[in-house]
Structure 1
Amino acid sequence: MPETLTKIEDSTFGLCKNLSIITIPQNVTYIGRWAFGNCSRLQNVIIKGKITPTITPTSFVEETGASIEDIAPLRFVLYIPKGCKEDYQNNSIWMAHAIAIFEE
Protein backbone atom coordinates (compact mmCIF):
# COMPACT_ATOMS: atom_id res chain seq x y z
CA MET A 1 0.00 0.00 0.00
CA PRO A 2 1.30 3.50 -0.71
CA GLU A 3 2.65 5.53 2.21
CA THR A 4 0.28 8.37 1.23
CA LEU A 5 -2.78 6.22 1.98
CA THR A 6 -4.87 7.65 4.85
CA LYS A 7 -7.90 5.33 4.87
CA ILE A 8 -8.54 1.68 4.11
CA GLU A 9 -12.05 1.59 2.69
CA ASP A 10 -14.83 -0.86 3.58
CA SER A 11 -14.24 -4.41 2.26
CA THR A 12 -10.89 -3.52 0.65
CA PHE A 13 -9.25 -6.86 1.46
CA GLY A 14 -12.45 -8.79 2.21
CA LEU A 15 -12.25 -12.47 1.30
CA CYS A 16 -8.47 -12.42 0.74
CA LYS A 17 -8.19 -15.94 2.17
CA ASN A 18 -4.42 -16.23 1.65
CA LEU A 19 -3.48 -12.93 3.29
CA SER A 20 -1.31 -13.79 6.30
CA ILE A 21 0.50 -10.51 6.96
CA ILE A 22 -0.37 -6.88 6.27
CA THR A 23 1.60 -3.69 6.81
CA ILE A 24 -0.54 -0.62 7.46
CA PRO A 25 1.24 2.55 6.24
CA GLN A 26 2.03 5.31 8.74
CA ASN A 27 -0.58 7.78 7.44
CA VAL A 28 -3.58 5.44 7.77
CA THR A 29 -5.95 6.76 10.44
CA TYR A 30 -9.09 4.73 9.62
CA ILE A 31 -9.81 1.11 8.68
CA GLY A 32 -13.34 0.56 7.36
CA ARG A 33 -15.98 -2.08 7.95
CA TRP A 34 -15.10 -5.55 6.70
CA ALA A 35 -11.81 -4.12 5.37
CA PHE A 36 -10.22 -7.44 6.31
CA GLY A 37 -13.43 -9.47 6.51
CA ASN A 38 -12.95 -13.22 6.20
CA CYS A 39 -9.16 -12.96 5.89
CA SER A 40 -9.00 -16.13 7.95
CA ARG A 41 -5.22 -16.68 7.57
CA LEU A 42 -4.27 -13.22 8.78
CA GLN A 43 -1.66 -13.77 11.50
CA ASN A 44 0.38 -10.56 11.66
CA VAL A 45 -0.64 -6.90 11.40
CA ILE A 46 2.15 -4.33 11.29
CA ILE A 47 1.15 -0.74 12.03
CA LYS A 48 3.72 1.86 10.93
CA GLY A 49 2.06 5.04 12.23
CA LYS A 50 2.27 6.38 15.78
CA ILE A 51 -1.41 7.37 15.69
CA THR A 52 -3.65 4.40 16.45
CA PRO A 53 -5.92 3.86 13.43
CA THR A 54 -9.62 3.93 14.20
CA ILE A 55 -11.28 0.62 13.40
CA THR A 56 -14.87 -0.54 13.54
CA PRO A 57 -16.03 -3.68 15.36
CA THR A 58 -16.22 -5.35 11.93
CA SER A 59 -12.91 -4.20 10.40
CA PHE A 60 -11.23 -7.55 11.18
CA VAL A 61 -13.83 -10.32 11.43
CA GLU A 62 -14.78 -13.64 9.91
CA GLU A 63 -18.14 -15.24 9.41
CA THR A 64 -18.66 -18.24 11.63
CA GLY A 65 -22.15 -19.31 10.58
CA ALA A 66 -24.87 -18.95 8.00
CA SER A 67 -25.98 -15.49 9.13
CA ILE A 68 -24.10 -12.21 8.74
CA GLU A 69 -24.57 -11.77 12.49
CA ASP A 70 -22.51 -14.93 13.10
CA ILE A 71 -19.09 -13.31 13.22
CA ALA A 72 -15.98 -13.54 15.35
CA PRO A 73 -12.98 -11.24 15.60
CA LEU A 74 -9.89 -12.26 13.69
CA ARG A 75 -7.01 -12.80 16.10
CA PHE A 76 -3.46 -11.81 15.16
CA VAL A 77 -0.12 -10.61 16.47
CA LEU A 78 0.09 -6.83 16.35
CA TYR A 79 3.36 -4.99 15.70
CA ILE A 80 3.32 -1.27 16.49
CA PRO A 81 5.81 1.61 16.85
CA LYS A 82 7.66 2.00 20.15
CA GLY A 83 5.77 4.06 22.71
CA CYS A 84 2.29 3.19 21.39
CA LYS A 85 1.45 0.02 23.34
CA GLU A 86 -0.70 1.73 25.95
CA ASP A 87 -2.92 3.29 23.27
CA TYR A 88 -3.69 -0.15 21.83
CA GLN A 89 -4.13 -1.78 25.24
CA ASN A 90 -6.69 0.90 26.15
CA ASN A 91 -8.67 0.31 22.94
CA SER A 92 -11.18 -2.50 23.43
CA ILE A 93 -11.70 -3.06 19.70
CA TRP A 94 -7.98 -3.51 19.00
CA MET A 95 -7.61 -5.72 22.09
CA ALA A 96 -10.37 -8.03 20.80
CA HIS A 97 -7.97 -8.92 17.98
CA ALA A 98 -4.51 -8.85 19.55
CA ILE A 99 -3.04 -12.19 20.54
CA ALA A 100 0.10 -10.27 21.48
CA ILE A 101 1.43 -6.75 20.95
CA PHE A 102 5.06 -6.05 20.13
CA GLU A 103 6.64 -2.62 19.87
CA GLU A 104 9.24 -2.21 17.13
Structure 2
Amino acid sequence: GCSGFTGDLNLPSGVTSIEDFTFNGCSGFTGDLNLPSGITSIGVAAFDGCSGFTGDLNLPSGITSIGVAAFRDCSGFTGKLDIPSSVISIEGSAFDNCKGLSPIYCRASIPPSVGYNSFANTSKLYVPKGCASVYRNTNGWNKFESIVEF
Protein backbone atom coordinates (compact mmCIF):
# COMPACT_ATOMS: atom_id res chain seq x y z
CA GLY A 1 0.00 0.00 0.00
CA CYS A 2 2.94 2.38 -0.39
CA SER A 3 2.38 5.61 -2.27
CA GLY A 4 4.46 8.35 -3.80
CA PHE A 5 6.78 6.28 -5.95
CA THR A 6 8.12 8.30 -8.86
CA GLY A 7 9.86 7.13 -12.00
CA ASP A 8 10.45 3.57 -13.15
CA LEU A 9 10.39 0.49 -10.93
CA ASN A 10 13.61 -1.38 -11.78
CA LEU A 11 14.09 -4.61 -9.89
CA PRO A 12 17.73 -5.72 -9.68
CA SER A 13 19.21 -8.76 -11.37
CA GLY A 14 19.37 -11.74 -9.05
CA VAL A 15 15.69 -11.50 -8.12
CA THR A 16 14.09 -14.86 -8.99
CA SER A 17 10.53 -14.36 -7.76
CA ILE A 18 8.17 -11.63 -6.71
CA GLU A 19 6.40 -12.94 -3.65
CA ASP A 20 2.70 -12.71 -2.81
CA PHE A 21 1.45 -9.15 -2.13
CA THR A 22 4.92 -7.55 -2.58
CA PHE A 23 3.70 -4.32 -4.22
CA ASN A 24 -0.02 -4.78 -3.55
CA GLY A 25 -1.89 -1.47 -3.64
CA CYS A 26 1.15 0.72 -4.30
CA SER A 27 0.44 3.95 -6.14
CA GLY A 28 2.12 6.94 -7.67
CA PHE A 29 4.37 5.12 -10.10
CA THR A 30 5.12 7.40 -13.03
CA GLY A 31 7.15 5.18 -15.34
CA ASP A 32 7.88 1.68 -16.54
CA LEU A 33 7.89 -1.61 -14.66
CA ASN A 34 11.15 -3.38 -15.54
CA LEU A 35 11.48 -6.99 -14.43
CA PRO A 36 14.91 -8.68 -14.64
CA SER A 37 15.46 -11.81 -16.72
CA GLY A 38 15.99 -14.13 -13.73
CA ILE A 39 12.41 -14.00 -12.48
CA THR A 40 10.56 -17.32 -12.72
CA SER A 41 7.33 -16.49 -10.89
CA ILE A 42 5.09 -13.61 -9.87
CA GLY A 43 3.07 -14.36 -6.76
CA VAL A 44 -0.53 -13.85 -5.73
CA ALA A 45 -1.63 -10.19 -5.96
CA ALA A 46 2.02 -9.08 -6.27
CA PHE A 47 1.05 -5.90 -8.14
CA ASP A 48 -2.70 -5.94 -7.47
CA GLY A 49 -4.16 -2.44 -7.49
CA CYS A 50 -0.96 -0.63 -8.50
CA SER A 51 -1.34 2.57 -10.44
CA GLY A 52 0.72 4.86 -12.60
CA PHE A 53 2.82 2.44 -14.65
CA THR A 54 3.15 3.53 -18.26
CA GLY A 55 4.14 1.86 -21.50
CA ASP A 56 4.35 -1.88 -22.19
CA LEU A 57 4.42 -4.78 -19.76
CA ASN A 58 7.12 -7.11 -21.04
CA LEU A 59 7.43 -10.19 -18.87
CA PRO A 60 10.96 -11.63 -18.87
CA SER A 61 11.76 -14.87 -20.67
CA GLY A 62 12.18 -17.66 -18.15
CA ILE A 63 9.09 -16.75 -16.16
CA THR A 64 6.84 -19.80 -15.80
CA SER A 65 3.92 -18.74 -13.60
CA ILE A 66 1.81 -15.68 -12.93
CA GLY A 67 -0.20 -15.88 -9.71
CA VAL A 68 -3.83 -15.17 -8.94
CA ALA A 69 -4.65 -11.46 -9.32
CA ALA A 70 -0.95 -10.67 -9.94
CA PHE A 71 -1.75 -7.50 -11.93
CA ARG A 72 -5.48 -7.17 -11.23
CA ASP A 73 -6.85 -3.63 -11.13
CA CYS A 74 -3.59 -2.06 -12.34
CA SER A 75 -3.99 1.22 -14.15
CA GLY A 76 -1.88 3.48 -16.27
CA PHE A 77 -0.37 0.99 -18.70
CA THR A 78 -0.60 2.33 -22.24
CA GLY A 79 1.05 -0.39 -24.32
CA LYS A 80 1.14 -4.07 -25.06
CA LEU A 81 1.34 -7.09 -22.79
CA ASP A 82 4.05 -9.50 -23.96
CA ILE A 83 3.86 -13.01 -22.47
CA PRO A 84 7.00 -15.09 -23.20
CA SER A 85 6.92 -18.70 -24.40
CA SER A 86 8.24 -19.92 -21.03
CA VAL A 87 4.93 -19.17 -19.23
CA ILE A 88 2.98 -22.35 -18.47
CA SER A 89 0.29 -20.98 -16.14
CA ILE A 90 -1.60 -17.74 -15.69
CA GLU A 91 -3.87 -17.96 -12.65
CA GLY A 92 -7.35 -16.52 -12.27
CA SER A 93 -7.82 -12.75 -12.50
CA ALA A 94 -4.09 -12.28 -13.19
CA PHE A 95 -4.75 -9.33 -15.54
CA ASP A 96 -8.41 -8.72 -14.73
CA ASN A 97 -9.44 -5.07 -14.93
CA CYS A 98 -5.88 -4.15 -15.90
CA LYS A 99 -6.75 -1.30 -18.21
CA GLY A 100 -4.53 -0.04 -21.01
CA LEU A 101 -2.68 -3.24 -21.88
CA SER A 102 -3.44 -3.74 -25.54
CA PRO A 103 -2.75 -5.70 -27.61
CA ILE A 104 -1.74 -8.95 -25.92
CA TYR A 105 1.02 -11.14 -27.36
CA CYS A 106 1.45 -14.71 -26.19
CA ARG A 107 4.59 -16.29 -27.63
CA ALA A 108 3.92 -19.88 -26.52
CA SER A 109 3.12 -22.47 -29.20
CA ILE A 110 1.14 -24.43 -26.61
CA PRO A 111 -1.32 -22.15 -24.80
CA PRO A 112 -0.49 -21.70 -21.11
CA SER A 113 -3.22 -22.76 -18.72
CA VAL A 114 -5.34 -19.80 -17.65
CA GLY A 115 -7.61 -19.40 -14.67
CA TYR A 116 -11.05 -17.87 -14.52
CA ASN A 117 -11.27 -14.26 -15.74
CA SER A 118 -7.51 -13.96 -16.31
CA PHE A 119 -7.75 -11.08 -18.80
CA ALA A 120 -9.73 -7.83 -18.79
CA ASN A 121 -9.03 -7.00 -22.41
CA THR A 122 -10.21 -9.83 -24.63
CA SER A 123 -10.35 -7.92 -27.88
CA LYS A 124 -7.14 -8.90 -29.70
CA LEU A 125 -4.58 -11.64 -29.06
CA TYR A 126 -1.46 -12.30 -31.13
CA VAL A 127 -0.06 -15.83 -31.17
CA PRO A 128 2.76 -17.60 -33.07
CA LYS A 129 2.18 -18.63 -36.69
CA GLY A 130 0.22 -21.87 -36.96
CA CYS A 131 -1.20 -21.67 -33.42
CA ALA A 132 -4.42 -19.66 -33.76
CA SER A 133 -6.73 -22.67 -34.00
CA VAL A 134 -5.24 -24.20 -30.84
CA TYR A 135 -5.81 -20.96 -28.91
CA ARG A 136 -9.36 -20.66 -30.30
CA ASN A 137 -10.12 -24.11 -28.89
CA THR A 138 -8.53 -23.63 -25.46
CA ASN A 139 -10.57 -22.51 -22.45
CA GLY A 140 -9.77 -18.99 -21.36
CA TRP A 141 -8.01 -18.09 -24.60
CA ASN A 142 -11.18 -18.69 -26.61
CA LYS A 143 -12.75 -15.60 -25.03
CA PHE A 144 -10.66 -13.30 -27.22
CA GLU A 145 -12.69 -11.69 -30.00
CA SER A 146 -9.78 -11.81 -32.43
CA ILE A 147 -6.80 -14.17 -32.49
CA VAL A 148 -4.15 -13.22 -35.03
CA GLU A 149 -0.97 -15.06 -35.95
CA PHE A 150 2.33 -13.18 -36.15
Q: Please confirm whether the aligned pair reaches a TM-score higher than 0.5, indicating the same fold.
A: yes
Q: Is the Cα contact below 8 Å between 2:70 and 2:94 reproduced in 1? A: yes
Deviation (angstroms), 1:43: 2.4
5+ residue gaps, structure 1, are: 62-73
- Which fold has the larger relative contact order, with Cα–Cα distance below 8 Å and residues 6 or more apart in sequence? 1
CA distance in 1, matches of 2:127, 2:100: 20
User: Aligned AA for 1:53?
Assistant: P
Aligned residues: 91
Q: Report the identity percentage.
A: 32
* 1:60 aligned onto 2:119: yes
Q: Which residue of 2 aligns with 1:66?
A: none
By percentage of residues, which structure has more strand? Answer: 1
Larger displacement relative to structure 2 (44-53 or 15-24): 15-24
TM-score after normalising by structure 1: 0.77
Greater Rg by CA:
2
**Aligned-residue CA RMSD (Å):** 1.5
5+ residue gaps, structure 2, are: 1-58
Larger displacement relative to structure 2 (75-84 or 10-19): 10-19
Which structure 2 residues correspond to residues 42-57 of structure 1 after superposition, within 5 A?
42-57=101-116
CA distance in 2, matches of 1:56, 1:94: 10
Spell out structure 1 runs of 4+ moving beyond 4 A: none
SS at match of 1:88: helix
SS at match of 1:82: coil
Q: Any idea what the Cα deviations from partners look like across 1:64-91, whole Å, max 9, x if unmatched?
A: xxxxxxxxxx323100001111111112
Deviation (angstroms), 1:31: 0.4
